Structure 1
Amino acid sequence: MKKILHILVLPQMAGSQRISLEILKNLPDDEFEKHVLFGTEICGEKREECQRLFEAAGAKVIYLKTLKRAIGLSDFQALISIYKLCRQYRYDIVHTHSTKPGIIGRIGARLARVPNIIHTVHGLSFHDYVKFPKWQFYWLCEMFASLFCDRIVLVNRYYAKYFRWFKSKTSTIYNGVDFSRLSTPSVFPQQNETSSVNVLSVGRLDTQKDPLTLMKAAQIVIRQAPNVHFTIVGNGELYADCERFIRENYLNTHITLAGWQDNVQPFYATHDIFALTSIYESFGLIFVEAGFHYLPTVATNVEGIPEVIKNEVTGLLTNPHDYEGTAKKILQLALDSRMRTDMGRKAHEWVTSQFTIDRMVRAYVELYNIENR
């Protein structure tokens, strides 16, 4: 039986945790002894839910206090602890997820002589909106850590340009969604131009998602099409700024801030268009979910998004920070019910053929098997 360890920072069910969970859940229990390592910065209900789900997948959950998001002296302690853990359990495979676990985990596992070390790049710290000194530092850390692993998995093809020195190690495995856990989608009937059109956005209200650009776009859309309503689902450090923008521009009847929602599935059934104005995004599982529910998407043409959304086929892409361009794309869909219906159907067909959980897990299992021959 092969022993496998997944390493992540936060014990909460976000993007990389969901991917790790699906991989472990679908590994045969009679072939793999499964462990997962987390830091302890998250506690309470989120940690309890995360632990419960991983244990239900047959994984032993281990916590490490020194494994933290921020860079600090605790990183050296975490590296030593991971080294000791790998020596103790003699893992056959260590699979790290995201930047911090990817750096510390790969080095610690290699020092412990773990035979197969795999790292999935769920996102990069050296994106276009990081200033050069930090960009260079993060890039150097990632490249150095890449020396300590056997395989580097990218969640999009765009990132391959950063790893050209490790071309022989890299492969792309798109994230997948377990569509069976989603509510049954409904296809909207074609609507005439006087019908109410509802635009949905789901995501953390932070700098990366750039919700104020969407707010400014919404203001333009509403002036030209008063029948359009926006619902913003999410919370974050820019929530108060969004509230202020709505209040100061008298948009309360046109934009609803729904806050954090444990279950966003019901929102898909009552909306016609999905929109998100991220300034960087490695993949975006939320786009897959929106497509599954027959929603065409307006999003930014950055990083991995164009690989999930086919421009002018399943959605419309615009430039980051371009609120006028975003408004134009939303209006295009809002005023053309046939386009919405056509793109929505194509979005459903695209995501259900390309981004299934079975397809993703099969690719990882094949990778594990290749690495263990």
Structure 2
Amino acid sequence: MKIVHVLTRLLRAGSEENTLACCLAQARHGHEVLLVHGEEFDPGLRASVAGALRVVTLEKLINSISPPRDVFAFGQLVRLMRDWQPDIVHTHQSKAGIVGRLAARQANIPAIIHGVHILPFVHVGSAQRLMYLTAERLAAKFTRAFIDVSQGMREICLANHLGSPDQHHVVHSGFDLARFANARWPQEPHLLLGTAAGEPKPPVVLMLAALEPRKRHVEFIEAFGQVVERIPNVRLLLAGEGPARPAVESAIERSPFANNIRMIGYHHEPERLISLADVCVLASMREGLPRVMMQYLAGGRASVVSHLPGVEEVVKHGVNGIVAPAEDVGAAATAVADLLENEPYRDRLAGGARLTDLSSWGLDAMCESVEQVYRSVLEQAPIAARPNDTRIRDSLAKQPLGLHGF
């Protein structure tokens, strides 16, 4: 198969990691894979995959709405797809999902698939909701399949008339489960925590999230004072990078508890940070079903997470984590303090986390499921649009998928 993946941004965040895992698996399975991303990207991340994939940057493809640039990016994508003639176009993220699917339709691509990592019309103002929903419904007319990261995402799509039930496939966002289950503390943890060498580890709260406004780092920093008042030596670790870094840095500088907060940026071993934490937190206002929640669980840590669509599929309140109201960051901070003060309860939640069945979040399970969706879509494509390349027909006829252990 010839497969094009289109992303709005290529940063170190969940949807990008999900997409790159699929791209690399598909390339190793013998498919031709082209990754197209927009203006915002992490050069190191791009370089890390450029040897295995063809990667193209479209500088006119940006996250915010900009009709002149959006039209230009649409034209670039149409030309690229007509030149490359892929069998599958798989779009990800909101802007690339709209522009990319419309471009694929214009280029007469036989199979157009959209990955629903997050929905842009959830938890926004009424005008934004109407605009985003109208655009999503337009693109949905040309979409042959949706790959949803959670059942919650699927249900919201169907409730808003985005595709039919048989077009939606729930595929959890995979990662290396064993890596998190078997992790140990980082080397020299005192350097991360800002404590003296040999000093006992203070209570640690970890927020592992890209620095984006919807993750609500600023709001949690503002609410974190109530945690410090109850546990004075606590440390809050903020691990991640992103466009909201200046706002987060400013919030830390304004906080009277700045000495308790450590912003450590992107960390290439997040599993070790989870191992170091006593409580993990995610205070997002909009998500799909972020795999960081599953990483917290795989690492066997008590966690406090916002009530997001689909969260109940895996986080059971009071059993393997705490689910806080999505609209109340202060409640999340209160729950964190309660857990730090109540060690038996915290240990019980950590035990529940370790017992959670996360098998459907494995890398192999995700990549196999995605390829099954591709084959199903190609088999159902109109005869005139089906690929004629014998290599592709042979691929469709192969028996096991052969992605195990990639």
Q: TM-score, normalised by structure 2?
A: 0.79
Q: Counterpart of 1:65?
A: 59
Q: Counterpart of 1:239?
A: 248
Q: CA deviation at 1:328?
A: 3.6
| Residue 133 of structure 2 corresponds to residue 135 of structure 1 | no
Q: CA deviation at 1:116?
A: 0.8
* Percent of aligned pairs sharing the same letter: 22
Cα distance change, pair 262–138 in 1 and its aligned pair in 2 (3 A)? same
Distance 1:233 1:119 in 2: 29
| Residue 13 of structure 2 corresponds to residue 14 of structure 1 | yes
Q: CA deviation at 1:54?
A: 4.6
Q: Within 5 Å, which residues of 2 pair with 1:47-126?
A: 47-56=43-52, 59-70=53-64, 71-126=66-121
Q: CA deviation at 1:16?
A: 1.9
**Pairs aligned (count):** 356
Distance 1:126 1:317 in 2: 22
Whichever structure has more helix as a proportion of its residues is: 2
Q: Counterpart of 1:173?
A: 171
Per-residue deviation, residues 245-288 of structure 1 (Å, max 9, x unmatched): 432xxx245x2222313333432232111012212222222222
Q: Counterpart of 2:332?
A: 326
Q: CA deviation at 1:326?
A: 2.3
Q: Counterpart of 1:152?
A: 146
Cα distance change, pair 342–358 in 1 and its aligned pair in 2 (3 A)? farther
Q: Within 5 Å, which residues of 2 pair with 1:181-220?
A: 182=180, 184-185=182-183, 196-220=202-226
Q: CA deviation at 1:23?
A: 1.0
Q: CA deviation at 1:106?
A: 0.9
CA contact (8 A) 2:252 2:258 kept: no
Q: Counterpart of 1:260?
A: 265
Q: Where has structure 1 moved over 6 Å in runs of 4 or more?
A: none
Deviates more, 1:138-147 or 1:304-313: 304-313
CA contact (8 A) 2:114 2:146 kept: yes
Q: CA RMSD in A?
A: 2.6
Partner AA of 1:150 in structure 2: R
Q: CA deviation at 1:28?
A: 6.0
Per-residue deviation, residues 287-327 of structure 1 (Å, max 9, x unmatched): 22222221111111122433342221210011134355324
CA contact (8 A) 2:146 2:169 kept: yes
Q: Counterpart of 2:395?
A: none
Q: Counterpart of 2:345?
A: 339
CA contact (8 A) 2:304 2:335 kept: yes
Unmatched tracts of structure 2, length 5 or more: 186-199, 380-406
| Residue 309 of structure 2 corresponds to residue 303 of structure 1 | yes
Q: CA deviation at 1:212?
A: 4.1
Unmatched tracts of structure 1, length 5 or more: 188-193
